[in-house]
Structure 1
Amino acid sequence: MFGIYLKRELGRRKKAALVIALGLALGIALVITVNSVSAGMTQAQDKVLKSLYGLGTDMTVTKARTAPTSGSSGGPNFKFDAKSSSSSTQSSDRVQTQGGQALKSSLVTKVAGQKGVESAVGALSLNVTKVDGSFTQGKAKSSTSSSGSSGQGGPGGGSSSSGGAPQVQGGGANFNVNSYSVVGVDVAHQGLGPLSTMKVTSGKTFTTAQTGSKVAVVSKSYAKEKKYKVGSTFKISGTKFTVIGIATPDSSESDTDVFVPLKAAQTLGDAKNQVTTIYVKATDSKQISTVKKEITANISGTTVTTSADLASTVSGSLSTASSLATSVGKWLSIAVLAAAFLVAALLTSSAVSRRVREFGTLKALGWPSRNVTRQVVGESIVNGLIGGALGIALGVGAAYAVTAISPKLTAQLGNTGGGGGVGGGPGGGPGRQASQNTLEIALSAPVSLTTIALAVGLAVTGGLIAGAMGGWRASRMRPADALRSVS
């Protein structure tokens, strides 16, 4: 009886039911869209952190670079032989550690032995500035001038000449400057650290036997720029390296151009038994903050940077959009949902007031108040479920539209003070640092089962709220109200 009556009443009031359902659908669709975009923001931020931080890395240990002493100069210093009388090509490399003050390699073992640390790996970051070109010596030439007039005999004939001061003509210098980054990696532990974010797509990666070999893995973008292939050779400060692999970053862009074995990098940077960054993986991701305190307390002078620290420094359009999705979007969703629930409740209550004769007659025929209330609540829940289905369809459609368009967001990672793994450190130059720390991410809006379940729950909740108000009003009606409404 209940089902038959419910179906008939909903069929008679299709327009009113559709209006209530659409109101709920819009609110639910907005919630799904905001939740999906917010999830996409989280994924985008994870991509930024992974591309700069390393897969499986929970924190890094670095040491801030000290201020230069008085009289010392940290500027570039290039030496060339300019005595040649002819044009000759000359080249000079300046190799300097970057990313913070160098740490002793023994600290890697000490960090690995701290409570809560699963593993630790050291890496050495270098900046190489290469200047190559040629000098051309000018030639000195004297300027001459002559004047004279000729005639056939007589005092007017003759000639005279005078020599001018010598002048240097031609000569000069033509040099190109190329700056790129080199990272020395522990070839025995490549699953943690800077190379863990890269996938070798051509050639091969390092083997444990190549600890001090003069081999290199270069990033795809740098290989394309320099036209390197597997087997190509190049020199760094006079040392020849052979390209054994070309790697592509798993996400976003790589800020490292060349990877070499750690010992080879230490030789290049005159940093024997030194590293600039220690990558740390904790035994339990929930204890990262505790491990950070442990390392900071036991190893003085170092800066420990966690993923949460890096996340707080992300700026750019990604940060702005994330703030809008999490704060403005959340409150907007709440406001729209509250308005949708209120409108549904008012429309249901208004519909009940127009059914005075119907409910009064049912009560006169013996229907108890609970049956009348159940009838109104049942109709409202069905309206809510219809609205939920429409809202899910609209919300999923909007989320897929965002994913299909894939708007580009920029993310900039600021320096957290440690210098390692974040800002590139001294030696990279401001322009280089900006290019390394600015990444472009394509935004997606994934829809999870949790979001769908939330939408269904909201639909049922909206129906219950509307039904509760309408049912309460219907239950207060008396049979006499129906008789007074008969004209």
Structure 2
Amino acid sequence: MFGIYLKRELGRRKKAALVVALGLALGIALVITVSSVSAGMTQAQDKVLKSLYGLGTDMTVTKAQSAPKAGSSQGPNFKFDAKSSSKTSQSSDRVMTQGGQALKSSLVEKVSAQKGVASAVGTLSLNVTKVDGSFTQGKAQSSGGSGSNGQAQGGPGGSTGGSGQPQVQGGGANFDVNNYSVAGIDVTHQELGPLASTKITSGRTFTASQTHAEVAVVSKSYAKSKKYKVGSTFKISGTKYTVIGIATPSSSESTTDVYLPLKQAQTLADAEDKVTTIYVKATDSQQISAVKKAIQANISGTTVTTSADLASTVSGSLSTASSLASSVGKWLSIAVLAAAFLVAALLTSSAVSRRVREFGTLKALGWPSHKVTRQVVGESMVNGLLGGGLGIALGLAAAYTVTAISPKLTAQLGSTGGGPGGMGGPGGGGPGQSTASKLEIALTAPVSVTTIALAVGLAVTGGLIAGAMGGWRASRMRPADALRSVS
């Protein structure tokens, strides 16, 4: 009886049912579209952040650089030998730690021991400036007369017989400067840190036994610029390293050029048992904030930076679109949904008012109030589900359109000082390196099962709200109302 009556009444009021369903559908479609676009923004932002962090890294720990002492020089210092030959090749390397103050390696174990930390690994980030070239010795020549042997007569403070002072002609210097970044890797824990965000496309990565080995992995872009391949060799401060692998970043171009075993990097920088960045992975992504507070409280003087902190450094159209999707889009969705629910409730209540004779007669025939209420709520629920189905279809179509078009968004990554506290770290600008890289990200709009479930929930909620108002109105009607309405 309930189903038959429900079907008949909905068939009689097709236009009203369609209006209610369309109102709910538009609100639900907007929610799906905004949710899917926001998810796409999150994915795009994750791609950007992976260029700053190694995969699987939840936070990094660094220490701010202390102010230089008065009179000390922090600039590069190159020393060349004085030789008597007329043309001498010279080469000198300046190896400096990047970014924050060096930390003791023992702090890595202390960080690992903090509650909520799954693993921690230390890296040493360096900047190498190589200057090589040659000096050419000039020759002294006089502009006046010369002796029988062709040499200028006289000299400084002596008589030259009217000839001009000797002048040095020719000579000079021709030097090339090569600046590149080096990351010292803990070869026993490569799953965390700067090398984790790369893929070895040629050769191989380090083995756990190569702690002190004079081997290197170089980035694809740096290898191309220097024409390195697996088996090539190069020197840093007189130590020869053999290239064993070529690494390609998984997400975006990394600014780390050379990866060395940590012990080798510490030797080059004269920083024994020192690291500049500690990469940390939490046991639970929901506990990242708590882990950050614990590290800051138990290890004084350190700066802890999470992915959420780095997100604030992303600018460009990606940041603008993300802000719009999360703020304007959210409130627009709420406003449209509220309007849709209100319209559905008002239309349902208005329809009940026009059915006074019908409901009054049913009560006169013996229908209790709860049956009348159930009838109204049932009709509203069907309208809500119809609106939900239509809204899901419209939302999926909108999300598919966004994905198909794939609008391009730009993301500007600014590093103000490298590392946490400077938003960098090996693999993404390196501590102490003031860099800014521009990335282009294709926006997608993925629709998750959670979003679909949310849409269904909203459809049911809309039907319940409309049915509740209409059912309350219908339950208050008396059989006498139907008799008074008979002409």
> 1:387–1:288: structure 2 CA closer, same or farther, 3 Å change rule?
closer
Q: After alignment, is 285-294 or 30-39 more displaced? A: 285-294
Tell me if structure 2 keeps the 8 A contact 1:32–1:452: yes
1:154-193 to 2 correspondences below 5 Å: 175-193=175-193
Take 1:477 and 1:258, find their aligned partners in 2: how far apart are those partners?
82
Compared with structure 1, are the counterparts of its residues 82 and 385 closer, same or farther at alpha carbon in structure 2 (3 Å cutoff)? farther
For 1:88-99, list aligned pairs within 5 A: 90-99=90-99
SS state of the match for residue 384, structure 1? helix
Alpha-carbon deviations, 1:122-168, whole Å to 9, x = none?
A: 21100122344556677888889xxxxxxxxxxxxxxxxx9999888
Specify the alignment match of 2:302 in structure 1. Answer: 302
The one-letter code matched in structure 1 to 2:278 is I
Aligned to 2:5: 5
1:454-469 equivalences in 2 (<5 Å): 454-469=454-469
- 1:179 deviation in Å? 2.3
SS in 1 for 2:305: strand
Superposed CA offset, 1:292-348 (max 9, x none): 455445544333334444445544444433333333322221111100111112222
The answer to whether the aligner puts 1:417 opposite 2:417 as a matched pair is: no
Deviates more, 1:5-14 or 1:316-325: 316-325
For the 8 Å contact 1:277–1:420, the answer to whether it is kept is no
CA–CA distance in structure 2, aligned partners of residues 64 and 246 of structure 1: 32
Match of 2:129 in 1: 129
Partner of 2:256: 256
Report deviation, 1:210. Answer: 1.6
Q: Secondary structure at the match of 2:396?
A: helix
Show the counterpart of 1:337: 337
Alignment of 1:258-277 (within 5 A): 258-277=258-277
Note the residue ranges of structure 2 that are not aligned, 5 or more in a row: 145-161
Contact 1:129–1:179 (Cα < 8 Å) also in 2: yes
1:286 and 1:364 mapped to 2: Cα distance? 59
Q: Which moved more, 1:354-363 or 1:116-125?
A: 354-363
Structure-1 separation of matches of 2:311 and 2:259: 26
8 Å CA contact retained: 1:59, 1:281: yes
> Contact conserved, 2:108 with 2:121, CA < 8 A, in 1?
yes
Map 1:403-442; keep pairs closer than 5 Å: 403-404=403-404, 405=406, 407-410=408-411, 412=413, 416-417=420-421, 421=425, 424-426=430-432, 428=433, 430=434, 433-435=435-437, 439-442=439-442
Indicate how the Cα distance of structure 1 residues 104 and 461 shifts in structure 2: closer, same or farther if over 3 A, else same: closer
In structure 2, C-alpha distance between the alignment counterparts of 1:289 and 1:465, rounded to whole Å: 38
Match of 1:148 in 2: none
Q: 2:52, 2:423 within 8 Å by CA — same for their partners in 1?
A: no
The offset of 1:282, in angstroms, is 4.3
Matching residue of 2:350: 350
Q: What is the CA distance between 1:27 and its match in structure 2?
A: 0.6
Counterpart residue number, 2:147: none
Q: Distance in 2 between matches of 1:97 and 1:264?
A: 13
Aligned length: 464
Q: Note if contact 2:314-2:411 (Cα within 8 Å) is conserved in structure 1.
A: no
Displacement of 1:465 in angstroms is 1.4
Q: Tell me which amino acid in the other structure corresponds to 1:73.
A: S
Amino acid at match of 1:69: K
- TM (norm. structure 2) is 0.82
Change (3 A) 1:475 1:212: same
Q: How does 1:74-153 map to 2 (within 5 A)?
A: 74-79=74-79, 90-114=90-114, 117-133=117-133
The offset of 1:96, in angstroms, is 0.9
SS for the counterpart of 1:408 is strand
When structure 1 is superposed on structure 2, of 364-373 and 14-23 the one drifting more is 364-373
Letter in 2 for 1:301: G
Instruction: Determine if contact 1:58/1:281 at 8 Å carries over to the other structure.
Output: yes
TM-score for both structures, normalised by structure 1: 0.82
Matching residue of 2:157: none
2:414 touches 2:436 (CA, 8 Å); kept in 1? no
Once the two structures are TM-superposed, the CA of residue 215 in structure 1 deviates from its matched residue by 1.4
Please state whether the residue corresponding to 1:382 is helix, strand or coil.
helix
Give 1:327's aligned amino acid: S
Q: What is the letter of the counterpart of residue 465 of structure 1? A: I
- Judged with a 3 Å threshold, the aligned counterparts in structure 2 of structure 1 residues 407 and 353 are, in CA distance, closer, same or farther, namely farther
C-alpha separation between the residues in 1 aligned to 2:280 and 2:3? 63
Q: Which moved more, 1:335-344 or 1:38-47?
A: 38-47
Contact 1:142 1:167 in 2 (8 A): yes
Alpha-carbon contact 1:95-1:126 (below 8 Å) kept: yes
User: Alpha-carbon deviations, 1:348-379, whole Å to 9, x = none?
Assistant: 23333444454455445554443333222222
Which moved further from structure 2: 215-224 or 197-206?
215-224
Tell me how far 1:477 sits from its aligned partner.
Answer: 4.5
User: The residue matched to 1:53 in structure 2 has which SS?
Assistant: coil
- 1 CA distance for matches of 2:295 and 2:482? 79
1:208 match: secondary structure: coil
Deviates more, 1:9-18 or 1:165-174: 165-174
Partner of 1:72: 72
| Cα distance in structure 2, aligned partners of 1:4 and 1:293 | 62
Q: What SS is found at the alignment partner of 1:209? A: coil
- Aligned-residue identity in percent: 82
Q: Deviations over 1:161-211 (max 9, x none)?
A: x99998888776555443221101111221222222222122111012222
Cα 1:406–1:139 shift into 2, 3 Å: farther
Output the CA distance in 2 between the equivalents of 1:403 and 1:88: 61
Partner of 1:280: 280
Determine the C-alpha separation between the residues in 2 that align with 1:445 and 1:91.
53
Compare 390-399 and 72-81 and name the one that shifted more.
Answer: 72-81
